[in-house]
Amino acid sequence: MNSKYLKNLKYDLPAGLVVFLVALPLCLGISLASGTPFFSGIIAGVIGGIIIGALSNSQLSVSGPAAGLVAIIISAIATLGSFESFLLAVVLAGAFQIVLGFIKAGVLAYYFPSNVIKGMLSGIGIIIILKQIPHALGYDTETFSDLTNFFRTDGGNALQGLLESFGNISVGATLICLIALGIIIAFETKRLKPVSRIIPGGLIAVVVSVLISELIFKNIPALAISADHLVNVPVANSFSEVVGLFTFPDFSGIMNSQVWLVALTITAVASIETLLCIEAVDQLDPHKRFTNNNRELIAQGIGNMTSGFIGGLPITSVIVRSSANLNANARTKVSAIFHGVLLFASVLLIPVVLNKIPLASLAAILIHTGYKLARPAIFRDMFSNGKYQWKPFLVTVVSVVIFDLLVGVGVGLAYSVYYILKGNFKNAFFYDKPEASSPQPIRMVLSEEVSFLNKANIKESLEAIPKNSAIVIDASNSTYIDFDVLQGIKEFVDYKSKYRNIHCELIGFDKQFSLSEVPVAAH
């Protein structure tokens, strides 16, 4: 093993354990929500950790089954008629991702502005907090699978679940969450910070929660935590039962066009979510390391092909696991690989021990993770950077919370583009209109680049010039003026200005923009 990885084991192994504790209920919950065998989610988590973790050059990203694909999985299985046919689509999706990596499609990640990425992270952080408060209070009506979606599978939403939870509080679960959260926060203080670099507070919080639940609360009826408030890992009692957990794709459907359509859908959604997550994690990385997005797509493709071959769900890089990994002081990708090893070993070897972990203690870890993603300082920084930063940021936050990750990012990106166009539209020229009594002419100084988007604004400004006045149109600073704009200026100078007795003076046009060579549009 590389010396870089060896010297960071003291950070990565404990961090991997924390990520494992967070990932386990997520894997099971996504399987349950998708209507697939519980082991399919575990397989995806194991492969996401071990195989993708090993092949990727992202040091902090953690991959696994994603909540954002649940609706696609349900719809695909219903369309294709069987889970085995769906697995074939997963295998094909992995092959498509490998192709995307080789044709360097990872460059798409660079077209997402930082304010949209930060808005996505903050929006997810807010949803995580909203969705985990019910678990923290012992109201476990939802699985952990629906972690980043404001709306619930039963038609309700996160706010309704929050209000319902206050009427169904479990005192024992609430105390467990408060104790766990207190431990995690304490490990963030200066006094315990050196300890947290070696043993993450989340790990201590879970261990203490299990001990309190088993040794103290179990003997107090009012505080005892029932089985439905604990992790629930199915137990395999023999090797034959373990083997029976694996499912294999049905290759007889390879000529089915619906299989290929599902594969393309998974490819698009999984690849975009992965690229967004990788870009976000690189921004959060305290060591500012750079991930090769094309290599990441290839790694994800190999992971999805492997997952589909042995009965696993589709895999993406997941921001919740990745953020938990970062908050647990991970340094390298060994933590992601170790979390995958733990997922596989624990489900097979110690499911009984895992089933003693209170969900409220895991909720505490996730609430802390959500706070880190949406802490007030991020909002203050964005607001201090001006409206061109905070408006798209805020639109993305709200959209991610109300809709979902992909829709929210799409809305935020569209709003950013709109703001760029609006700024370009407004800044096409400097317009100086003197007082009515002043003999000075009106001055229109064109900017360095004037595109077709500025045509309407320039035309409206020229149309608004009063009769019997004078204007100077200055193109001295311009390096590019769109043909349509030049045509509009020529039409105004040669015809419209004469009808209204407006004297026109042109500066800087003769050098690069010869109006004499521009034909006037037909009337």
DSSP state letter for 157: B
Instruction: Label residue 477 by pLDDT band (50, 70, 90).
Output: confident
The rounded Cα 145 to chain-centroid distance in angstroms is 16
User: 382 is written with which tokens?
Assistant: 């964005």
Q: How far apart are CA 354 and CA 346, in angstroms?
A: 8
How confident is the model at residue 156, as a pLDDT? Answer: 65
147 pLDDT band, cuts 50/70/90, is: low
Round to whole Å and give the CA distance between 15 and 324.
8
Angle between helices 319-327 and 114-136 (to 10 degrees): 80
Q: What six digits make up the tokens of 269?
A: 């959604």
Report the interhelical angle of 455-463 vs 483-491 (nearest 10°).
10
- Is the pLDDT reported for residue 293 higher than 80? yes
| CATH 3.30.750.24 placement within the chain | 429-517
What percent of the chain stands above pLDDT 70?
Answer: 90
Structure tokens, 433? 């209109």
The burial of 258, by beta-carbon neighbours within 10 Å (0-12 exposed, 13-18 middle, 19 or more buried), is given as: middle
**Of 285-299, 302-316, 478-492, which one has max mean pLDDT?**
302-316
Confirm if 31 and 313 have CB atoms less than 8 A apart.
yes
Q: What is the pLDDT of residues 169-202, one digit of tens each?
A: 889 999 999 999 999 999 888 888 787 777 888 8
* Per-residue confidence (pLDDT) for residue 523, from 0 to 100: 46
| 429-517 CATH | 3.30.750.24
d(CA 29, CA 32): 5
In the predicted model, what is the mean pLDDT of residues 285-289?
87
The pLDDT of residue 296 is above 90: yes
State the chain's mean pLDDT as an integer: 85
Between 152 and 209, name the one with better pLDDT: 209
- Mean pLDDT value across residues 339-346: 92
* Prediction pTM value: 0.75
Q: What is the mean pLDDT of residues 402-417?
A: 85
Report the alpha-carbon distance of residue 379 to residue 367 in Å, rounded: 18
